[in-house]
Chains A and B, each alone.
Chain A
Amino acid sequence: MLIRIAPPHLLRETEITPPEVYASRRRFLQQLGLAGIALAAPGLGRAQSPGPGALKISTRRERAGGEKPNSFEDVSSYNNYYEFGTAKDEPARNAGKLKTRPWTVVVDGECEAPAQVDIDSLLAGALEERIYRHRCVEAWSIVVPWLGIPLGDFLKRFKPTSKARYVAFETLYDDQQMPLARFSGLQLPYREGLRIDEAMHPLTLLSVGMYGRVLPNQNGAPLRLTVPWKYGFKSIKSIVRIRFTEKQPATTWSALAPDEYGFYANVNPAVDHPRWSQSRERRLGELFKRDTLMFNGYPEVASLYSGLDLRRYY
């Protein structure tokens, strides 16, 4: 009689994992791994690694008093760009329709060398990063790392004449690409303007990017103005025309409601909007409001306005 005594290393039948259970555990682990990658992915996307639209930065200047920039997500999902809808989240949803290539900017008016500039020639040159505060007339604010060139350097190429006392800017207007524009309540194309000394001020930037990349469409691609000491509506988006003028140009918001929006629109906590206070602002990402700074915290521009009554020229 043969008596089989099982050696201790052999598994009993009941201890063997059935193949289907084994397979399902592998699947589970695979899915876990994928989930982990998916969770990490948004972080990867935000990293400053070169990728589509990445721009080369020649110099960096931090001009927001050491304040941390807002997240790219906040800055690119909360926008005023009425051609693409008047709610804050609409431009991010609708500005995909905007075709930013080919794109040329016509520069003319009171200058000796009027020209058409292709956007790609601007992107090819040296770009500065400037971290600025941005204060909207609606009393919210953000901190943004912009990329661009000083507007003054750009404008000098066209040799403005002594008659060039102002610079007028115009946004693209195309109702095919901007079907919601007719509900904006604004006279379009959107127009803005600066005094020539404001335009030539070293703080004024012609921006082509932010956060190390080309501008998202909802933020004014492919190029926009950045005037950090003025309310956001002065920083016109998607510029197609720049014109040197002798007379102060008409500007969109000021034409709509001259008692509410002035040509200067300097950030000034002491001069209220007729319908709301400008003394405080809500920085996106913060629950409570903070005090608004004179000239948005850029006191070096004050000399541009010496002798000007800022209550009258708001």
Chain B
Amino acid sequence: MSPARVLLCWRLAAWTLATAPLLQLGWLILQGRLGANPVEFIEHHSGQWALRLLLLTLAMSPLRERLKRSEPLRIRRLLGLWAFAWACLHFSIYLTFDLEFSARQLAADLIKRRYITLGFAALLLLLPLALTSTRGWQQRLKRRWATLHKLIYPAALLAALHFVWLVKSDLREPLLYLALLLGLLLWRRPWRVILRARKQPVIST
């Protein structure tokens, strides 16, 4: 297969993965099978997929090293944008059906409810990443672009904690996501940054 073909396959796989839950949702709505609390179902479904796709986005760098291929990096933006889209759907459902667009209620929730504060912060951190995801912005921001896009790490952490703090007693699913996320973050050996920062003054003197 030609490299272009291979890349197309990867792209198709990413699109399928990101849109299949949307088709599933549409199918369940048509069949009237969202259960007794459809709003809650869509809220959970969209939130789960936002988090899953965010983790998948973060898995692309390790995957590239593992497979020694470039395709994972070339579908990373696609996955990240879909994660953002699912997060937007998640927030819109909450804003529409739980808050009925009341800014006062949103403010009250943001102040009082820890998990909503975290989830909202995660969405806010993802917003500039989605806006600057185009090639034009990449060229305009140059090296700062990569720095800016490191915001995905705190965003993913906040999103995972948002889920942990929402659950009543069965923490298996949220803790699984948190563990996967910590694995993906540790793989990046964050201590190197700290060590480098410590060494730097020594070098500069």
A86 within 8 A of partner (CB):
yes
Most buried by B among A82, A257, A277, A285: A277
Give the interface size class of chain B: 20 to 34
The CA of A140 and the CA of B37, in the complex, are separated in Å by 9
Contacts of A277 in B (CB 8 A): 108-109, 112-113
Beta-carbon contact of B36 and A284 below 8 Å: yes
A154 CB contacts on chain B under 8 angstroms: none
For the complex of A and B, the 7 pairs showing the least CB-CB separation, nearest first, are: A185-B169, A78-B36, A86-B170, A74-B36, A284-B36, A185-B170, A287-B97
Of B36, B37, B114, B170, which one neighbours A275 at CB under 8 angstroms?
Answer: B114
- Given the known A-B contacts A275-B113, A277-B108, A277-B109, are A287 and B169 also in contact in the complex, defined by CB atoms under 8 Å? no
> Which chain B residue has the least Cβ–Cβ distance from A272?
B112
CB-defined contacts of A257 to chain B, threshold 8 Å: 169
Residues of A bordering B, CB below 8 Å: 70, 73-75, 77-78, 82, 86, 88-89, 138, 140, 183-186, 256-257, 272, 275-277, 282, 284-285, 287-289
Chain B residues engaging chain A, CB cutoff 8 angstroms: 35-40, 97-98, 100, 108-109, 112-115, 165-166, 168-172
**Cα distance, A75 to B114, chains bound together (Å):** 31
A284 near B100: Cβ-Cβ < 8 Å: no
Query: With the chains together, A70 CA to B35 CA distance in Å?
Result: 13
17 additional contacts (CB under 8 A) given A77-B36, A183-B170, A275-B166: A75-B36, A77-B35, A78-B36, A82-B169, A86-B169, A88-B40, A89-B35, A140-B37, A140-B40, A184-B169, A186-B169, A256-B169, A275-B113, A282-B40, A284-B36, A285-B36, A289-B100
Task: Look across to chain A and name the residue whose beta carbon is closest to the beta carbon of B105.
Answer: A277
Q: What is the predominant secondary structure among interface residues of chain A facing chain B?
A: loop
Cross-chain pairs A/B with CB under 8 angstroms, 15 sampled: A75-B36, A86-B169, A86-B170, A183-B172, A184-B169, A256-B169, A275-B114, A275-B115, A277-B108, A277-B109, A282-B40, A284-B36, A284-B37, A285-B36, A287-B39
Interchain CA distance A166-B104 in the complex, whole Å:
42
**Considering only CB atoms, which chain B residue lies closest to A71 in the complex?**
B36
Q: B35, B36, B165: which has the most chain A beta carbons within 10 Å? A: B36
Asked whether A184 lies within 8 Å of B39 as measured between CB atoms, the reply is no
- Chain B residues with CB under 8 Å of A75's CB are 36
A78 touches B37 (CB 8 A): yes
B39, B171, B172, most chain A CB atoms within 10 A? B39
Bound complex: CA of A255 vs CA of B164, how far in Å?
Answer: 20
A276, B113: Cβ atoms under 8 Å? yes
Distance in Å: Cβ of B162 to nearest Cβ of chain A = 11
**How far apart are the CA atoms of A43 and B82 in the complex, in Å?**
42
Point out the residues of chain B lying under 8 angstroms from A285, CB to CB: 36
- Evaluate contact between B37 and A282: CB separation under 8 angstroms: yes
CA distance A184 to B169 in the complex (A): 7
Q: Does A275 lie within 8 Å of B165, measured CB to CB?
A: yes
Instruction: Tell me the minimal C-beta distance from B103 to chain A in angstroms.
Output: 15
Task: Return the contact of B170 from the options A82, A89, A272, A289 (Cβ within 8 A).
Answer: A82
Please indicate the chain B residues that have their CB under 8 angstroms from the CB of A82 in the complex: 169-170
With the chains together, A114 CA to B172 CA distance in Å?
41
